[in-house]
A and B are shown apart, each in its own frame.
Chain A
Amino acid sequence: MRAPIQRYRNILDFALSSLLRRKGRNLALICVYTLVIFVIASLIFFVQALKREARELLIQAPDMVVQRMVAGRHDPIPTIQAEAIRAIRGVEAVQPRLWGYYYDPVFGGNLTVMAASDQELAVDSVWVGRGVARSMRVNEGDLISLRGYGGQPILFAVQKILPEASELVSSDLVLMSEKDVRALFNFPEGLATDLAVTAGNPRELATIAAKIVELFPDTRPIMKTEILRTYEAIFDWRGGLMVVVLGSAILAFIIFAWDKATGLSAEERKEIGILKSIGWESSDVLLLKFWEGAVVSLTAFLSGVLLAYVHVFFFSASLFEHALKGWSVLFPRYRLVPALDAYQLTVLFFLTVLPYTAATLVPIWRAATVDPDAAMRS
């Protein structure tokens, strides 16, 4: 049993030394290979990280939100309807939510203004997200001025800046008391932006949603899972689209690899001839070429993945942030949480290493089946 293992080791040794002897040629191949893996890996990691952020964002969201529709558009909902919905079997809690967007002309971005549900927040004071604090250059204790519905400035004291951990979630958020929200937007009493519904058993949500629509035909219940699904679909779609676009890059690379593998140098051809003449068999040469390919692929794969990891998680994917995120200017300057999983790596392997390997099979076979007597006839 030892001999076969020793054979693998011997031939691997020789493959490594062959690769090193032809450094220049192989380096060019590895560089291009690494570049292709880097781009696709960055893409996959980035989309995956965004999906995870979105999922985490939604963990805090209510199971279901009920909106009122007027003429096909979202309209404030009367808070009395909350009572009727609470009476539906299976509903645990209904919370009217009061929130809206505030456009800040100074730095040209939208803020999400929301009524804090807890009572800690005093009138005339706010909690702001990191992004808001950064754009307005405020610290805790400073005052900020927002323009009310009539154009009059209203001053708020910044009581707290929301913690960084949830930056993606809360970056553009301004929390204030319910009274202040109504004053800022002139939002009538008895109306809310929407209703947050919690069910005792999440499996019953669909039934509850059906009952709500039956009860109030002008409402639209939106479930958390639906939002999640939409996010996933959008991110996947964008990621997939980019992969398709990058398909041309992969194709170019495969042609490059094919060319490299087919165009064995005269020196290399002669070497294979010598090996065959001194007692190597076709399958030994195939193994040699397999090891060479494996070492090249592994090197390129590891360095490509490493570079992509640094790019996405330390430089926030600066190369194609804009193509994929498409958010408002206030999109947080956050750092994605580093994470890698086997699935992403497998997909990456499939998209890059498999085509490379397949493209080199026939050229390798051609090289390996040189006649052993070729070395004598030269």
Chain B
Amino acid sequence: MIELVHVEKTYQADLATPFTAVDDVSLSIAAGKLTVLKGPSGSGKTTLLTLIGCMARPTSGRIHLHGLPEDTLPELKEGDALEITSLPERFLTAIRRRTFGFIFQQFNLIRGISVLENVMLPTYPTGEDHQRVEASAIQRLEALGLARHLRAPVDRLSGGEAQRVAIARALINDPLVIIADEPTAHLDSKLSEDFMELMGQFKSSGKTLLITSHDPIVYGSPLADRVVEMRDGRIVKGS
């Protein structure tokens, strides 16, 4: 599904104190599996997620995406792979919208607007039919047990509810891959286990899952097909 070859990301390269967040990482992530990136904070897990998820471009190295829909970028296909490292933001965003759903550590919901609007927000720039998007957002929220809160502002939600809103939002574009960054950092053990159960459902529906965590509930879970351990921007175990 995703293949990284000698990927490196350096910040402040032109300053005296360059900082290499991801250092020469080669990794391939299988489709339909749950992969956990494990490591202490500052080990480069999150940066690696942003590179894989087309949010940022690596300083060097290559990233190939396999198994994308036929019409993604016909001019770019090399076999069945798409090489995304030197694409402009416009195209990276287009790929990201269809391929990746993100669940952020801080949930990243927009305060002051309703749960429903928050979930629909990723579809605004694509110009899809508003009513159809709304119907599908409501359906997803109901499936996650949030039917009561559709019109409530997100500020009033509990941590667990907020995360489920974030999950509904990640699913709105029906992505192939779900990426979660430290999803259980703000949840108690019960909610963390609920979260993993939900991930299990997505996995059985065929989604590829990529989660960073240093929570044993996540990397110790029987659902995790593979655990990759990172430290100081390098993979130390499990590649």
Contact = CB atoms under 8 A, between A and B. Distances in A.
Interface of A: 2-11, 13-14, 17, 21, 267, 271, 273-275, 277-284, 371-373, 375-378
Contacts of A371: 55-56
Contacts of B129: 2, 6
Nearest to A285: B125
Given A21-B112, A282-B89, A10 B124 contact: yes
B207 interface: no
A10 B121 CA distance: 9
B128 A278 contact: no
Given A10-B130, A376-B49, A376-B181, A277 B108 contact: yes
A277 B90 CA distance: 13
A5 B126 CA distance: 10
B89 A14 contact: no
B56 A279 contact: no
B106 A271 contact: no
A275 B112 CA distance: 14
Interface stretch (B23-31, B96-104, B213-221): B96-104
Contacts of A278: 102, 108, 121-122, 169
24 contacts: A2-B127, A3-B126, A3-B127, A5-B127, A7-B126, A10-B130, A13-B124, A274-B109, A277-B55, A277-B104, A278-B102, A278-B169, A279-B122, A279-B125, A280-B93, A280-B122, A283-B90, A284-B124, A373-B50, A373-B56, A375-B104, A376-B46, A376-B104, A377-B46
A378 B89 contact: no
Contacts of B123: 10
B37 to A, nearest CB: 13
A21 B104 contact: no
Given A6-B127, A9-B130, A376-B181, 9 more contacts: A7-B127, A11-B125, A21-B113, A279-B93, A279-B122, A280-B122, A281-B125, A372-B55, A373-B50
A264 B49 CA distance: 28
Contacts of B46: 376-377
Nearest to A11: B124
B13 interface: no
Interface residues of B, number: 36
B110 interface: yes
B20 to A, nearest CB: 15
A10 B46 CA distance: 31
A279 B96 contact: yes
A359 B104 CA distance: 35
Interface of B: 46-47, 49-50, 55-56, 89-90, 93-94, 96-97, 102, 104-106, 108-113, 117, 121-130, 169, 173, 181
A375 B169 CA distance: 15
B50 A279 contact: no
Task: Kindly name the residue among B46, B108, B113 whose own CB sees the greatest number of chain A CB atoms within 10 A.
Answer: B108
B49 A14 contact: no
A7 B125 contact: yes
A3 B121 CA distance: 15
Contacts of A274: 108-110
A195 B130 CA distance: 76
A281 B128 CA distance: 16
Nearest to B114: A17
Contacts of A283: 90
B96 to A, nearest CB: 6
A284 B49 contact: no
Given A10-B124, A376-B181, A279 B104 contact: no
A274 B111 CA distance: 11
Task: Kindly name the residue among A7, A278, A282, A283 whose own CB sees the greatest number of chain B CB atoms within 10 A.
Answer: A278
Contact of A376 (B50, B90, B96, B127): B50
A14 B127 CA distance: 13
B56 A372 contact: yes
Contacts of A281: 89-90, 93-94, 125
A377 B122 CA distance: 20
A17 B111 CA distance: 12
Contact of B127 (A4, A13, A21): A4
A281 B91 CA distance: 9
B54 to A, nearest CB: 9
A273 B109 CA distance: 11
Contacts of A277: 55, 102, 104, 108
A221 to B, nearest CB: 69
Contacts of A7: 124-127
Task: Kindly name the residue among B55, B112, B124, B130 whose own CB sees the greatest number of chain A CB atoms within 10 A.
Answer: B124
A293 B213 CA distance: 41
Contacts of B121: 14, 275, 278
